[in-house]
């Protein structure tokens, strides 16, 4: 292993319902906020809006995933991710030449790597919003709880913590109550 990169995961079928297209499980990924540079963010709706608000961009399908996991990547896998993203940036976003596309892809991959300073298997989520004319991304990690529980009512399985220096409160949603339609 030479580095760690985000890799898409699908814990249930919801990504297939809320994104067009959804990423396939196991793709290398980047946050992908650059995909919305030319969009009128206030006019986004439906699946495009959902991708903006909480999606990671898969680097094979160029579809979206709500969650990614930190995974070890070889130098060859990293290079393949950079090359794939560079082609996408050139063809979809009109980078002026291959060198410019590659430089942008390297920067995006380096940012994705910086999010992976966690043990392999750590789950990452993103929340993206427009604030004061700027796009703001917040990243969270989800870790399996350390304490085993003996009943279904002991959920949540994951505790959500803020990363990247955010000063927000740690969230611990009660999935049992949410699933029953009651506030957490």
pLDDT tens-digit map of 37-53:
889 999 999 999 999 99
Q: Is residue 179 part of a domain?
A: no
- Distance in angstroms (rounded) separating the CA atoms of residues 158 and 119: 15
Location of structure tokens 């796009």: 135
Q: Is residue 71 part of a domain?
A: yes
- Residue 1 pLDDT > 80, yes or no? no
Q: What is the 3-state secondary structure (H, E, C) of 105-164?
A: HHHHHHHHHHCCCCCCCCEEEEEEEEECCEEEEEEEEEEECCCCCCCHHHCCCEEEEECC
**Strands lying side by side in the sheet with 56-58:** 29-30, 56-58, 64-65
Q: Is residue 9 part of a domain?
A: yes
Location of structure tokens 């427009």: 130
pLDDT tens-digit map of 76-100:
999 999 999 999 999 999 999 999 9
Q: pTM to 2 decimals?
A: 0.78
Q: Is residue 29 part of a domain?
A: yes
Least confident of 70-79, 81-90, 167-176: 167-176
Tell me what the mean pLDDT of segment 158-174 comes to: 47
Which domain does 109 fall in, by range? Answer: 3-118
Q: Is residue 127 part of a domain?
A: no
Q: Residue 175 in 3-state DSSP?
A: helix
Q: Is residue 145 part of a domain?
A: no
Nearest to 54 by CA among 22, 81, 87: 22
How many domains does the chain fold into? 1
Q: Is residue 142 part of a domain?
A: no
- Distance in angstroms (rounded) separating the CA atoms of residues 37 and 95: 13
């Amino acid at each position: 292993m030479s580095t760690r990169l985000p890799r898409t995961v699908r814990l249930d079928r919801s990504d297939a319902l809320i994104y067009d297209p959804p990423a396939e499980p196991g793709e290398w990924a980047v946050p992908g906020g650059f995909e919305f540079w030319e969009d009128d963010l206030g006019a986004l709706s439906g699946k495009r809006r959902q991708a903006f608000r909480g999606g990671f961009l898969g680097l094979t399908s160029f579809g979206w995933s709500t969650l990614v996991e930190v995974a070890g990547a070889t130098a060859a896998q990293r290079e393949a991710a950079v090359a794939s993203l560079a082609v996408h940036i050139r063809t979809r976003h009109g980078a002026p030449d291959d060198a410019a596309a590659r430089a942008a892809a390297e920067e995006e991959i380096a940012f994705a790597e910086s999010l992976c300073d966690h043990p392999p298997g750590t789950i990452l989520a993103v929340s993206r919003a427009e604030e004061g004319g700027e796009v703001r991304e917040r990243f969270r990690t989800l870790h399996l709880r350390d304490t085993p529980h003996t009943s279904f009512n002991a959920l949540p399985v994951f505790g959500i913590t803020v990363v990247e220096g955010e000063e927000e409160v740690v969230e611990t949603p009660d999935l049992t109550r949410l699933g029953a339609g009651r506030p957490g």
